[in-house]
Copies of this chain bind each other. A is one copy, B any other.
Amino acid sequence: MTEATSAESLLGAHLAAQAGLFLRTLPDVRQGNLRRVGGALHTFGELLDADWARQLAADLATLSEVLGAEQAHGRRLVRLLASIDSLTSAEAAVPGPRAEGGTGREAVGLLAGHPGAPKARALMERQVSLARSRAHSARLQELGSARFHALADRMTLLASDLPLRDRSGDRQPAEALLPAVRATLQELAESVAELPLERAATPYNRDALHRLGGTVTPESTESDDLPWRQVHTRVLRARYAVEAVQPLLGAAAERPLELLRGYGDLLERQAEAAAAAEAAAGAARTPRITPATAYVLGVVHADQRLEVEAARHAFGVSWPDLAHSGWLTDPWLARSN
């Protein structure tokens, strides 16, 4: 599947492809593109000039955050407006199929006809749009900065002249790369072991509203999102690591990749819902809003935390598919040897 004959040339080809994509799509930088490069630098750093790889990975992470913020706020806005529109919906639903035991019924949101809904909607829209506009300006500024141009130069270097630790590298690809992939999977398993996963797998566990962990601050009580964020980072890293060595693994990589993509989607959903919940809570701290507006924002806040609980539940239920598959613990990665 590849012409690479050494670990170095396989890694080089992977990074060159990603760097090429980065340069071709400028100035539309894609999150996945940045993350794939950063992930490879992190996972396969042992083959590369260590300081260079660490610095580039850090700069890519910063860039990813700056450039990704506009889209993140855009998705948050869509999510919050969808939540409030659904909560206030009073439209007749399509009658359910008899198989579901449904007689035709109306789909009515908890806040249908609530007098606070229009103002709450407008307030969230204004605040998140403002944050998105600021992120837009920051993105444009970043794209015109000397820092960004220096980074683009380094990406060019990545494509043409990768700073390898061992320039005469001729190690077997499987021998040199697969243990690093295995390590990312093991780190992922260790992070997941820190989660309250059994409870997450129990539906309606009250974690969404009643049992957030972490420390209370005046701004937020939701810092138990941190361990979940770490698992999210590591799921992405594991996914990109397996993708990078897919030429070595062929079809054996398909099922684990499918699972890792699914976990990534679930964890992104819970992260976005958690951020949306904080945005709703923040909007409710706006001075001089009406009680009706605040009430609606309270329901939206709870609704988004419920989304967090639902996504974590889905993760808790589906994690055993990977955990019990042997892909985390065992020499499946060596099969291709």
- Report if A113 contacts B (CB, 8 A): yes
For A192, the chain B residues whose CB sits under 8 A away are: 101
A207-223 vs B, CB cutoff 8 Å, 1 = contact: the mask equals 01111111110100110
Q: A302–B212 contact, CB under 8 A?
A: no
Expressed in whole angstroms, the Cα–Cα distance for A50 and B224 within the complex equals: 63
Q: Which residue of B lies closest to A310 (CB)?
A: B204
A183-203 vs B, CB cutoff 8 Å, 1 = contact: the mask equals 000000000111111110001
Pick from B93, B210, B297: contact of A211, CB under 8 Å: B93
| Interface 9-residue window, one of A128-136, A255-263, A285-293 | A285-293
For A105, the chain B residues whose CB sits under 8 A away are: 196, 213-214, 224
For A86, the chain B residues whose CB sits under 8 A away are: 206, 210
Q: This chain: how many copies in the complex?
A: 2
- Decide: A221 near B101, CB < 8 A? Known: A93-B211, A294-B291: no
- Report if A326 contacts B (CB, 8 A): no
Chain A: residues with Cβ within 8 Å of the partner, total of 64
Q: Which residue of B lies closest to A311 (CB)?
A: B204
Q: B110–A210 contact, CB under 8 A?
A: yes
Q: B295–A109 contact, CB under 8 A?
A: no
Q: A101–B193 contact, CB under 8 A?
A: yes
For A13, the chain B residues whose CB sits under 8 A away are: none
Expressed in whole angstroms, the Cα–Cα distance for A208 and B222 within the complex equals: 22
- Report if A177 contacts B (CB, 8 A): no
For A232, the chain B residues whose CB sits under 8 A away are: none
- Report if A305 contacts B (CB, 8 A): yes
- Report if A301 contacts B (CB, 8 A): yes
Interface residues of A in 259-313 (CB under 8 A from B): 284, 289-299, 301-303, 305-306, 309-310, 313
Expressed in whole angstroms, the Cα–Cα distance for A295 and B282 within the complex equals: 12
Given contacts A106-B216, A204-B313, 10 further A-B contacts (CB under 8 A): A106-B215, A109-B211, A110-B222, A204-B306, A284-B291, A290-B291, A297-B298, A298-B298, A298-B299, A306-B306
Interface residues of A (CB under 8 A from B): 86-87, 89-90, 93, 96, 99-103, 105-113, 192-199, 203-204, 206, 208-216, 218, 221-222, 224, 284, 289-299, 301-303, 305-306, 309-310, 313
Q: Which 10 residue pairs of A and B lie closest in terms of their CB atoms, listed nearest first?
A: A298-B298, A203-B203, A302-B302, A291-B294, A204-B310, A105-B213, A295-B298, A294-B295, A294-B294, A298-B299
User: Could you list 9 A-B pairs, sorted by A, with CB under 8 Å?
Assistant: A101-B194, A101-B196, A102-B196, A108-B214, A108-B224, A110-B208, A110-B221, A110-B222, A298-B301
